[in-house]
């Protein structure tokens, strides 16, 4: 099948339309996937899918939510296809941390250190693993709602999904995280689900 082609001038237009949103796409992709490599793969997949849709891109009033929705759909489809779950978690170096250090090296050390710092590091490390156990829809709603700060109403519009469905998904995702983090369940239902 012949692929749609875009002229050189339009290629420049594609870049000018998308470039302002690349940082947002990448960082959202990172929140979805948890690793730089997977975030880059995801953004790459999205751009490859968007390029032939330049004429559609031109007509979109608010491009950021539109491309975020595409990112979400590609993530869910691709993650499900790849069967990725419970793996590929990565901590990001804190400011001042040694570049290139193995994330596992940042596990809490047995050597003495500020208690809060150790606790914070422990939470991040365990949280990364816990996030890896969520299914892609749960992971995405946690990323968008609890990390990025979208409201459920905003997400309902963004993802074209009923608020009740998103709320239920978020509730189950948090319950799963609490189980993985050995937190006390908030309800009997969580104990059953866990």
Partner 1 sequence: MNRCEHIAHRLDDYLDGHLDGAGRDAVEVHLNGCADCRRRLAEARDLRAALRAWPVPEPDPAFLRQALEQAKGVHRRGPSRPVLAAALAATLALGLALGLFMGTSDTSVEPSVQVVVLSGEHTETVHLVFHATRAVPDAEIQLSIPAHLELSGSPGVRDLRWHAELSEGANLLALPLAALHAGEDYLEASINYNGKEQRVRVALRVPHAPADGSAGPRSGLHFESIDPV
Enumerate binding residues for partner 1 (CB under 8 A): 3-6, 11, 14-15, 18-19, 22-23, 26-27, 30-31, 35-37, 39-41, 43-44, 47-48, 50-52, 88, 90-94, 98, 100-103, 105, 123-124, 127, 142, 146-147, 149, 152, 167, 170-171, 174, 177-178, 181, 183-189
Cβ-based neighbour number of residue 150 at 10 Å: 20
Q: Is 98 left (phi over 0), alpha (psi -120 to 50) or beta?
A: beta
To 5 degrees, how large is the angle CA 83–CA 89–CA 92? 145
Q: Shortest distance, CB of residue 59 to partner 1, whole angstroms?
A: 19
Q: Shortest distance, CB of residue 15 to partner 1, whole angstroms?
A: 5
Q: Shortest distance, CB of residue 44 to partner 1, whole angstroms?
A: 5
Q: Shortest distance, CB of residue 141 to partner 1, whole angstroms?
A: 11
Is the four-CA dihedral 194, 155, 68, 81 of positive or negative sign? positive
């Amino acid at each position: 099948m012949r692929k749609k082609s875009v002229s050189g001038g339009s290629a420049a237009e594609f870049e000018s339309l998308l470039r302002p949103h690349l940082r947002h796409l990448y960082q959202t992709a990172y929140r979805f996937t948890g690793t730089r490599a997977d975030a880059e793969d995801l953004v790459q997949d999205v751009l490859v899918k968007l390029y032939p849709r330049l004429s559609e891109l031109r007509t979109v009033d608010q491009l950021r939510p539109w491309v975020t929705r595409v990112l979400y759909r590609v993530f869910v489809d691709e993650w499900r296809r790849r069967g990725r779950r419970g793996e590929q978690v990565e901590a990001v170096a804190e400011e001042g941390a040694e570049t290139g250090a193995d994330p596992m090296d940042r596990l809490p050390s047995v050597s003495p250190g500020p208690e809060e710092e150790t606790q914070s590091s422990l939470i991040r490390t365990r949280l990364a693993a816990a996030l890896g156990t969520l299914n892609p829809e749960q992971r995405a709603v946690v990323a968008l709602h609890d990390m990025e700060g979208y409201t459920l109403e905003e997400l309902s519009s963004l993802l074209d999904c009923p608020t009740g469905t998103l709320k239920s998904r978020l509730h189950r995702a948090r319950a799963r995280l609490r189980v993985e983090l050995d937190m006390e369940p908030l309800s009997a239902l969580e104990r059953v689900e866990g």
